[in-house]
Amino acid sequence: MKCLFCRIVEGEIPSTKVYEDERVLAFRDIDPQAPTHILIIPKVHYDCAADAPAELVGHMAAAAAKIAEAEGIAADGYRMVINTGEAGGQSVKHLHLHLLGGRSMQWPPG
C-alpha cells in the first residue's frame, strides 16, 4: 500500500502546496507547531535520510531555505528538523524535513 506522503505527492490526498520542483514537494503541516510549519518531502519514497542520496537531502535543505525566504521567516531565523525512527518522533515513514519558524524555538527541544 502507498504511504500517506506518496498519496499526497500523487494528489490522492489534498495538501496546501507551497513549493514544488522536479524532486521535492513542500506543503503545510496539518498540525502546525509554529506559525510557519512546512514539510519538504522527496517525490520518490525513502523511509528516512539514511536511505536517500545525500545530494537529495541537501536539495531538500536548499528548498527549505528558499521557502523560508519566500515565507518571510529567514531574517529572524528558523528551524529544520528530520525526525528519524520511533525514538526520533517519526510518525510518517516517508522522509520529510520540517521547516518551522515565526516564533522563538526552545533548545533543547522537548
CA 28 to each of CA 5, 17, 55, 87: distance values in angstroms, whole numbers, following the listed order: 12, 7, 24, 24
Nearer to ligand DGP, 27 or 78 (CB): 27
Rounded Cα distance, 33 and 67, in Å:
17
Q: Grid coordinates 500517506 are at which residue?
A: 4
| Binding range to ligand DGP, per CB under 6 A, among 48-56, 67-75, 87-95, 100-108 | 87-95
Task: Please say whether the beta carbons of 51 and 85 come within 8 A.
Answer: no
Measured from the CB atom, the residue of 15 and 36 that comes closer to ligand DGP is: 15
CB of 28 closer than 8 Å to CB of 38: yes
Judged by CB under 6 A, does residue 51 bind ligand DGP?
no
Of 1, 30, 54, 87, the residue at the interface with ligand DGP (CB under 6 A) is 30
Site string (65-84) toward ligand DGP, x via CB under 6 A: ------------------x-
Q: Which residues contact 87 (CB under 8 A, 6 or more apart)?
A: none
Which listed residue (71, 90, 102, 103) binds ligand DGP by CB under 6 A? 90
96 is catalytic: yes
Contacting residue, 9, 24, 27, 73, with ligand DGP by CB under 6 A: 27
